[in-house]
Amino acid sequence: MTPRDLVEPSGDDTEFVFFSGKGGVGKSTVSCATATWLADNDYETLLVTTDPAPNLSDIFDQGIGHEVTEIEGIQNLSAIEIDPDTAAEEYRQETIEPMRQLLDDEEIQTVEEQLNSPCVEEIAAFDNFVDFMESPEYDVVVFDTAPTGHTIRLMELPTDWNAELEKGGSTCIGPAASMEDKKVQYERAIDTLQDTEQTTFAFVGKPEDSSIDEIERSAGDLAELGIESQLLILNGYLPESVCEDPFFAGKREDEQAVIERAHEEFDADATATYPLQPGEITGLDLLSDVAGVLYDGAEATVDVGSATDIETDQSVDVEALADPASIADRVTPSDDETRYLFFTGKGGVGKSTIAATSATKIAEAGYETLVVTTDPAAHLEDIFGEPVGHDPTSVSQANLDAARIDQEKALEEYRTQVLDHVTKMYEDKEDTEIDVDAAIANVEEELESPCAEEMAALEKFVSYFQEDGYDVVVFDTAPTGHTLRLLELPSDWKGFMDLGSLTKGAAPAKGDQYDEVIETMQDPERSSFAFVMYPEYTPMMEAYRAAEDLNDQVGIETAFVVANYLLPEEYGDNAFFANRRAQQENYLGEIKDRFETPMMLVPLRRDEPIGLEELSAFGDEITGLFEISKEEVTIQ
């Protein structure tokens, strides 16, 4: 089947199209283009983003937010950006309101405390997602989902929460007896997701081997849930007409090899491509061009001749934007205390590569270094070219270890920790009337809740603040919205556990430990947060909003920013790259003005650095990265 066949409604029932993929690959652009094309073809269309860091408002250049909003200038098209906080409060009120006539004040207070569980945010956002799967007023609903690893989690939720409600009694998302309607809804959602006649699942990726590798892994995860991925879109390949020198000609050759690989490993008829443009894809004309190429078989319009519209702000001195001395101060430990270094930002902006490169150079300087990924779609293993497991292990370089949080292992560790604690707690009690076996069985049942998965990931994250023997711990974090959620969790869970609600007080007391972690993250002498972005509007604004939220909600300031994928001056001597270079320089100036922090400047490479030798060499190319030692700091 062709891409058009897969997204165009074919029956009377509402149809659903999901777009997923690593962040920063143009997923939202493709979602918006698809929704616009469907609306232009007279289908009543709803566009929904479940990404905690949405950018539909930026693409359509109008406010959207948490309410269904008609898109200006396009008949038949509405959109909504699900806000997790608003969704959580709506969920709480919807759950509590029917009980007010049935329960006394004390019982209502108990339910309210129960619904302060942080995992209510997860189920509330999902609840909104399920609601839009039951929208008969639309011909088609297009979902612009969160980056890949979190999308897999979203797709798992119907089964997980359904199993939780099957148990009956009190759950961490509300009393099961009051949620029978939800259980029926979740069952329908499972059936719909698995129905290829009603649901199409599409991956969007860059023409890079690492992108294809990740899509294959994710497609396998979805298949285990009974969900088939049917459509692949490779976005942003270099147009042949602009690749006039060996550097870009070589990059294009590599990209075409990846596209050929995709045709061999996926259904070639259900694989589509779209080229890189001389500027950003905004406005209805370019969205129409994207859709025409993907669904109508049109030739892509790459108007190189008029690609000189952007005037460079001559006041921007790119090299002067870097401040190596300040960055060195922010990544090296002081007073013999461990330094915690966080790299975050929109997915697809090179966070993992920057984190691995920085860790490699810090370790070379003699600091004992650990690099950890908290991203569910982790690929540190691909970058180092060596196995990276759940526990810190050496990656064949002195002073350098790496680890990735394995969700299943983290959950098993957490279950063991809680059960050991509760067993010892009851063994120490002299009250022989307690049915210890029944109490433990009750805790075991609560640990099957999806909430336990979030708590387990938090516990593992917190554990790295207790790792001995490291001078620097580098975190390669999940994409922006999910990173912010992770960093809020110590406060959220501490408050929840102070109520004695989690596993009925069975979890080990960790309040003081969480306080220490929060204080460490807020201390600029011990922790540094760096936002990675490429210099374009959407990643810049997403990073800026997230940095503001991080400061307002968690009290953490941004230490420095990383501008990645900067076009080299010595290659690309034509109007196409002149336009993109001018665009980058203007955004670099705006990034400096918005963040008012030191900047690390990272050049575009022909190939992604793989292995320690290439990572080390790449570190030497980064303006603002450093050569450091324990005795002195030497700036490049």
Q: Same fold for the domain at 3-302 and the one at 319-635?
A: yes
Helices (H), 132-265: 148-166, 180-193, 209-224, 246-265
Residue 491 is predicted with a pLDDT of 45
Task: Label residues 8-40 b or e (16+ Cβ within 10 Å = b).
Answer: bbeeeebbbbbbbbbbbbbbbbbbbbbbbbbbb
Which of 55, 82, 54 is CA-nearest to residue 66? Answer: 82
Read off the amino acid at residue 418.
V
Alpha carbon separation from 293 to 130, 283, 297, 481 (Å, rounded): 31, 16, 5, 31
Phi, psi of 484 (to 5 degrees): -60, -40
Residue 137 is predicted with a pLDDT of 86
Round to whole Å and give the CA distance between 238 and 251. 8
Please say whether the beta carbons of 231 and 6 come within 8 A. yes
Maximum distance among all Cα pairs of the chain, rounded to whole angstroms = 86
Which residue numbers in the chain have pLDDT < 70? Answer: 23-24, 52-53, 113-123, 125-126, 146-183, 186, 304-319, 347, 376-378, 428-435, 439, 445-446, 448-451, 454, 478-511, 626-636
Which of 322, 373, 299, 323 is CA-nearest to residue 343? Answer: 373
Task: Label residues 509-528 b or e (16+ Cβ within 10 Å = b).
Answer: ebeebbeebbebbeeeebbb
Residues 6+ apart with CB under 8 A from 330: 524, 528, 559, 560, 598
Round to whole Å and give the CA distance between 557 and 527. 10
Residue 246 is predicted with a pLDDT of 94
Tell me the domain boundaries of the chain: 3-302, 319-635
Round to whole Å and give the CA distance between 158 and 191. 10
Look-up of token digits 């991203």: 375
Residues 6+ apart with CB under 8 A from 334: 525
Look-up of token digits 């779209």: 274
Round to whole Å and give the CA distance between 71 and 46. 10
Mean residue pLDDT across the chain: 80
Residue 17 is predicted with a pLDDT of 93
Residue 434 is predicted with a pLDDT of 62
Residue 155 is predicted with a pLDDT of 57
Round to whole Å and give the CA distance between 489 and 492. 5
Round to whole Å and give the CA distance between 351 and 478. 9
Residues 6+ apart with CB under 8 A from 32: 47, 56, 59, 60, 144, 287
Helices (H), 77-179: 84-96, 105-114, 119-131, 148-166
Please report how the helices 407-427 and 436-446 are oriented relative to each other, as an axis angle in degrees rounded to 10. 160
Burial class (CB in 10 A: 0-12, 13-18, 19+), 250: middle
Round to whole Å and give the CA distance between 610 and 208. 13
> Helices (H) and strands (E) in the chain — how many of each?
22, 20
Round to whole Å and give the CA distance between 38 and 8. 7
Show the tokens assigned to 265.
């490993």
Give Cα 234 distance to the centre of its chain. Answer: 19
Q: Beta strands 400-404 and 393-397: pairing type?
A: antiparallel
Residue 344 is predicted with a pLDDT of 86
Please report how the helices 480-498 and 451-463 are oriented relative to each other, as an axis angle in degrees rounded to 10. 100
Residue 558 is predicted with a pLDDT of 94
Sign of CA dihedral 128, 129, 135, 138: positive
pLDDT 10s digits, 132-142: 777 778 999 99
Residue 90 is predicted with a pLDDT of 83
Residue 224 is predicted with a pLDDT of 81
Read off the amino acid at residue 25.
V
Residues 6+ apart with CB under 8 A from 505: none
Residue 343 is predicted with a pLDDT of 92
Please say whether the beta carbons of 52 and 151 come within 8 A. no
pLDDT 10s digits, 213-239: 878 888 887 888 788 878 999 999 999
Residue 510 is predicted with a pLDDT of 57
Residues 6+ apart with CB under 8 A from 89: none
What is the secondary structure of 562-610 as a DSSP string?
Answer: EEEEEPPTTS--SHHHHHHHHHHHHHHHHHHHHH-S-EEEEE--SS---
pLDDT 10s digits, 1-33: 899 999 999 877 889 998 987 766 888 899 999
H-helix or E-strand spanning residue 49: strand 45-49
Residue 341 is predicted with a pLDDT of 95
Residue 32 is predicted with a pLDDT of 94
Round to whole Å and give the CA distance between 554 and 489. 10
Q: Which fold has domain 319-635?
A: Rossmann fold (3.40.50)
Q: Which fold has domain 3-302?
A: Rossmann fold (3.40.50)
The percent of residues above 70 in pLDDT, for the chain, comes to 78
Whole-model pTM: value is 0.77
Round to whole Å and give the CA distance between 318 and 619. 18
Residue 323 CB neighbours (<10 A)? 17
Residue 399 is predicted with a pLDDT of 94
Please say whether the beta carbons of 122 and 205 come within 8 A. no
